[in-house]
A and B are shown apart, each in its own frame.
Chain A
């Protein structure tokens, strides 16, 4: 009889790194489908290129560094998918490829690989793309629904509203007030924007799935509440704010990245609240109409500090002065 000897425990949960990543991919299916439905073939190609480039970058990096390839854990698929969904449907083919390579090689692997990246790889890559090719990254078109029409370049509701406000404040008085799409259109995604961020209904489906599967807990809720609260304090409309731009997509899929968010529930609440606040500040005072990317990156940078100072109460802790 050949018996194995090991330390306890002798049973393990069925949840593994791979199963968690697979859950995220599943949660992103409605969002991806909606993006492709609204923006057609180009959206599908962008997302596919992004995923493929992420997986290939990871594999090549690990081969070159003579590490054991870990593409089976599906984390590169998640990174590629999220980055792809964060790009405009008008993106040229090289944009997702360069973005995914940056995300995987520079942001993730050079800092130690899975679990050790201090920034969300997809987010940091998007930030770099936005700073490097800002025009390419902000050229949007209205939904085409696979119809064979020429895509008409247009502004997103957020940027249109921002330039309208600027025009008004510069007191020319000539700019016509921008007409927001209806709340229903905003909710369903019938609006210009990045591939994955437009359909809020699909994002909510993903959120429900991830919460039921216990993949994520408080971050999306606290972040959205904080965002709505500060929007209201600064005189905006919380609902329109939530339904425009990438707040919801960011809250559900990007701020929740494990390695770049805090490890305790208390810490996660502080982190999510900070991100919500920074988005409002960036949207109101920043030079870009949107602020989710940079807000999450700033939150990521704060996460280690939050972890260091969010002390847990140890069982039986004796108060020094008791």
Chain B
């Protein structure tokens, strides 16, 4: 059998993973947290606590609103000191709940688990996931209970747990696979049982052999689970690309993974599902890779809502003047306006670039080298698309499949003329989506 992979993609010139890869995750609980009411794709939650209330870990503080709503829970025990709008990573300020830590570290009493994932009634699993406030922890933040509920007439035959972690710099998923492999496997089994699916695959890039071995060992004797190493290549962890690599299937244009009869969840999401089902614990903590120009790059297990400033302090402060702070990976992450933003459920890493690295390289004319075409995993011609988006011709861009762009950043990365290809496609996709909604 050939090695599993997808079409397109590339290898990084240099990989930034090394500093955090081989160190254990450290737990850190801050003095206070600021929990945004919107950490998922969908409408913000409505706060259901008052200023001055005392809350415990896992207590509901934000009630979901609307179809895509995901509840928000207190991540530390203590007093609600304020409820106010804060500047997070999106343009609009988000209503957030401020909690001051009382260091009692008490869990909310009302939480009850369902026990062993192999014995629990499958019908109770999805409601438990919903109540635990779980959304995709790989970055997309899509509500997990909705992902697990598919429309009439669709079926799923394979659940893939995404442990590719193809971004440079980030190692939070790798550490999770090494340190909490059993939770990932329990979470996968829970999803398989909830959906009645017989086949579960944990897919990991082959630059993480320790993780592959650990998961293989732990999954021995577990029903229907296979661990598959994938070729190390960016963007292997993209949903469509991991489906292509693992199953050989493609998600039809404009459709969802379920149309390829596959469901993909991130390793951290799977672990959160296990906690929710077994112990009834809501999603209140996650591992975050903090790296780049900080003195002690680390993987930290922190309560949701921990501010980045506290994380940097835990990592020994900045080693150089920061020029750019990116939440997420270096290829797809979002720039932060300052260091006061909160860690959300979907935030797997924060990379600090120094002033020199933060400088934008000067754009020069396209030399028609074709590199963007060779690397595009979606099979597009980015150089050609750019001529349409530059001219503001959205119809032309659409005719050349701009909507199939997965915004992985490959074309921009390899472009010797340093053109902002991905950014212009993102812009075009947003405009097209906006026009379609009108």
* Interface residues of A, Cβ cutoff 8 Å to B: 1-17, 19-20, 70, 73, 75, 113-116, 258-259, 261-265, 268, 312-318
Contacts and interface: CB of A to CB of B under 8 A. Distances in A.
Contacts of B426: 7
A17 B326 contact: no
Given A8-B423, A264-B381, A314-B379, 19 more contacts: A3-B325, A5-B335, A6-B335, A8-B334, A8-B409, A9-B332, A10-B333, A17-B364, A73-B364, A115-B367, A115-B368, A258-B368, A259-B367, A314-B378, A314-B401, A315-B377, A315-B378, A317-B253, A318-B252
Nearest to B351: A10
A19 B416 contact: yes
A11 B168 contact: yes
B244 interface: yes
Nearest to B8: A315
Given A313-B379, A315-B240, A316-B250, A258 B367 contact: yes
28 contacts: A1-B321, A4-B323, A4-B360, A5-B335, A6-B335, A7-B422, A8-B333, A8-B423, A9-B409, A10-B326, A10-B331, A10-B333, A11-B168, A11-B357, A16-B361, A17-B364, A17-B416, A20-B369, A115-B365, A261-B368, A262-B370, A263-B384, A264-B373, A264-B381, A265-B374, A313-B379, A314-B401, A316-B255
A4 B324 contact: yes
Top-7 shortest CB links A-B: A9-B409, A7-B423, A263-B370, A314-B379, A5-B335, A115-B367, A9-B331
A10 B330 contact: yes
B322 to A, nearest CB: 6
Contacts of B120: none
A14 B13 contact: yes
Contact of B337 (A3, A8, A115): A3
B336 interface: yes
Interface string B395-438: 00000010010010100111111101011001000000000000
Chain B contact residues: helix, strand, loop or mixed:
loop
B301 interface: no
Contact of A316 (B240, B353, B409): B240
Interface residues of B, number: 66
Contacts of A261: 368
B111 interface: no
Given A19-B416, A312-B373, A5 B326 contact: no
A248 to B, nearest CB: 22
Chain A contact residues: helix, strand, loop or mixed:
loop
B93 interface: no
A12 B410 CA distance: 9
Nearest to B411: A9
Contacts of B422: 7-9
A271 to B, nearest CB: 12
B367 A12 contact: no
B140 interface: no
B365 A314 contact: no
Nearest to A314: B379
Contacts of A263: 368, 370, 373, 381, 383-384
Interface in B339-355: 339, 351, 353
A74 to B, nearest CB: 11
B414 A3 contact: no
A264 B365 contact: no
B214 to A, nearest CB: 29
A13 B411 CA distance: 10
A2 B355 CA distance: 9
B366 interface: yes
A259 to B, nearest CB: 5
Nearest to A214: B371
B29 interface: no
Given A1-B338, A17-B417, A263-B373, A318 B326 contact: no
B138 to A, nearest CB: 15
B247 interface: no
Contacts of A10: 324, 326, 330-331, 333, 335, 351, 353
B251 interface: yes
Interface centre among B357, B359, B367, B422 (most CB of A within 10 A): B367
A268 to B, nearest CB: 8
B380 interface: yes
Nearest to A75: B367
Contacts of B360: 4, 6
B253 A318 contact: yes
A208 to B, nearest CB: 20
A116 B365 contact: yes
A283 to B, nearest CB: 29
B413 A70 contact: no
Nearest to A18: B416
A209 B185 CA distance: 47
A93 to B, nearest CB: 31
A115 B416 CA distance: 12
A11 B353 CA distance: 10
A77 B183 CA distance: 60
Contacts of B423: 7-8
A305 to B, nearest CB: 14
B404 A316 contact: yes
Given A9-B331, A16-B418, A263-B370, A3 B323 contact: yes
Nearest to A303: B368
B221 to A, nearest CB: 36
B24 interface: no
B7 interface: yes
B18 interface: no
A14 B12 CA distance: 10
Contacts of B364: 17, 70, 73, 114
Given A3-B325, A4-B324, A315 B379 contact: yes
B133 to A, nearest CB: 27
A3 B323 CA distance: 5
Interface in B292-342: 321-326, 330-339
A15 B321 CA distance: 26
B331 A113 contact: no
